[in-house]
Structure 1
Amino acid sequence: MDSRAFAGLAVQYRPARLNPAGVCLYCETRWCRSSKCIEAHAASLWAPCPVCDGFSFGRCNNCMNGVVEVSRDGLIELADRVLPRRAEEPVAYAVAA
């Protein structure tokens, strides 16, 4: 895999370092500005969860919102994987009246 393709994959699946509530994924501090956390996040590699294929929506115990942190080898292994467009089992949602 050439370095541009690898860099593109590394960024494509990486979640934000701060969650929507402003809490850091690494140190669990709100509005964190730690250089250690910033550097760890910049170096991190993420891929779609191999268990739920990214369709977790909070239901998968293996991932965080459909993605998992992986090693370089793990990202390369998942790079050729064809991801489904839809979840295998449709999810039924109740609509409040």
Structure 2
Amino acid sequence: MQVKGIPQVPAVDSAALAALADTFRPPRLNFAQVCLYCETRWCEAAACVKAHAASLWAPCDDCDGFGSCSHCLNGVVEVDRVGFVERAARVLPRQREAAALFVAVA
């Protein structure tokens, strides 16, 4: 028995969706050259490359992409297609608002 309904995915131009996905997708290898998926330095595994190419990332809802929370990877989170489409129309702030966790350095 299905408890939750399957959410409708709004129609979005696939080229526009791909462009947005590329905008927010972090590199597969971090600055120390460690893979996000298998945590192996200098990874060249086809499975990791394929998973990364198919992944969708969006700015974190908690910190608006500024990376000031513990729920994201430098301001972005991996999402599914529905979550990505829901966030695609979101207007992101240009600057971080003054917050208790943020201390400006002079």
TM-score, length-normalised on structure 1?
0.90
1:48 counterpart residue number: 59
Counterpart check, 1:84 vs 2:93: yes
| Deviation sequence 1:44-91 (CA, Å, 0-9, x none) | 0000000000111xx411100000000000110001100000011163
Structure 1 segments unaligned to the other structure (5+ residues): none
Q: CA deviation at 1:11?
A: 0.7
- Matched residue, 1:61: 70
Pair 1:24-2:42 in alignment? no
Q: CA deviation at 1:92?
A: 2.7
RMSD: 1.3
SS at match of 1:69: strand
The higher radius of gyration belongs to 2
Aligned pairs, number: 93
Unpaired stretches in structure 2, ≥5 consecutive residues: 1-11
Runs of 4 or more consecutive aligned structure 1 residues displaced over 3 Å after TM superposition: none
Q: Distance in 1 between matches of 2:81 and 2:105?
A: 40
- Determine helix, strand or coil for the equivalent of 1:46: strand
